[in-house]
């Protein structure tokens, strides 16, 4: 609960006065109030520990038996960090109705966004190193690249991608299981970029759900594409990410 400045003492007094008058007569409220106090303390601690930042980060890190990477809070566009346990069952064993979406916007090689502004590159994240299907606008990968990174199935090359998901503190879902939705820039977007690089849709970083939806409505991004990928993600503090070992992928 947020207490207005100057009123903390009066609120505290009300609580303690209530306890003195009621707790003697209703003893079973004691454990309830203790549990409630603990829950509020944990909630406040969580909100402070998982503070967001407008700084951009690129690359996953390894810490223990988990990978940790940056994502955008789809409401604010700020960076938060999520953990995924290594060796977790794929797909996640959970009812799809209890899952929340994580949106992945994929950028082509032609994008002018700096490498260190994209949350994942083929060289620093162990997923989506290539598009798992050919797309002529993105550029078709070589046989060797598709063999190494897509099991020999035709693929396309990418510059990198970003992730958007709802964070509980900003009205997102509390569910840990997420299903992955893929979004690609359309032929219309590529035509715009060729005609006018300054107005190029994929030269701008998509950080919020509102930005993503606007690009879908304008026809510059595909509607979210279903994938069979489901993952368990949990928000962790930035310090946990900073202490990890950076992922290095020998992508060629």
186-222 tens-digit pLDDT: 999 999 999 998 899 999 999 999 999 999 999 999 9
Q: Give 99-141 pLDDT, tens digit per residue.
A: 899 999 999 999 999 999 999 999 999 999 999 999 999 999 9
Q: HEC string of the chain?
A: CCCCCCCHHHHHHHHHHHHHHHCCCCCCHHHHHHHHHHHHHHHHHHHHHCCCECCCCCCCEEECCEEEEEEEECCCCCEEEEEEECCCCCCCCCCHHHCEEEEEEEECCCCCCCHHHCCECCCCCCCCCEECCCCCCCCECCHHHHHHHHCCCCCEECCEEEEEECCHHHCCCCCCEEEEEEEEECHHHHHHHHHCHHHCHHHCCCCCHHHHHHHHHHCCECCCEEEEEEEECEEECHHHHHCCEECCCCCC
Q: Which of the four pLDDT bands, split at 50, 70 and 90, describes residue 57?
A: very high
Provide the mean pLDDT of the chain: 81
pTM: 0.78
């Amino acid at each position: 609960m947020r207490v207005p400045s100057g009123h903390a003492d009066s609120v505290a007094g009300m609580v303690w006065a209530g306890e003195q008058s009621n707790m003697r007569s209703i003893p079973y409220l004691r454990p309830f109030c203790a549990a409630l106090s603990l829950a509020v303390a944990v909630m406040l601690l969580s909100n402070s520990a998982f503070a967001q930042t407008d700084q951009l980060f690129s690359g996953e890190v390894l810490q223990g038996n988990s990978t940790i990477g940056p994502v955008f809070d789809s409401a604010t566009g700020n960076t938060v960090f999520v953990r995924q346990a290594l060796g977790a069952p794929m797909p996640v064993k959970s009812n799809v109705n209890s899952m929340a979406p994580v949106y992945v916007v994929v950028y082509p090689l032609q994008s002018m966004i700096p490498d260190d502004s994209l949350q994942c590159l083929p060289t620093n994240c162990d997923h989506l190193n290539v598009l798992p299907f050919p797309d002529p606008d993105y550029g078709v990968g070589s046989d060797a690249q598709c063999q190494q990174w897509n099991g020999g199935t035709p693929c396309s090359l990418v510059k990198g991608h970003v992730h958007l998901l709802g964070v509980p503190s900003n009205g997102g879902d509390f569910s840990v299981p997420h299903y992955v939705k893929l979004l690609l820039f359309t032929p219309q977007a590529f035509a715009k970029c060729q005609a006018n690089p300054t107005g190029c849709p994929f030269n701008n970083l998509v950080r919020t759900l509102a930005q993503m939806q606007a690009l879908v409505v304008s026809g510059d991004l595909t509607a979210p594409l279903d994938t069979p990928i489901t993952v368990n993600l949990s928000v962790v503090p930035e310090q946990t990410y900073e202490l990890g070992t950076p992922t290095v992928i020998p992508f060629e």
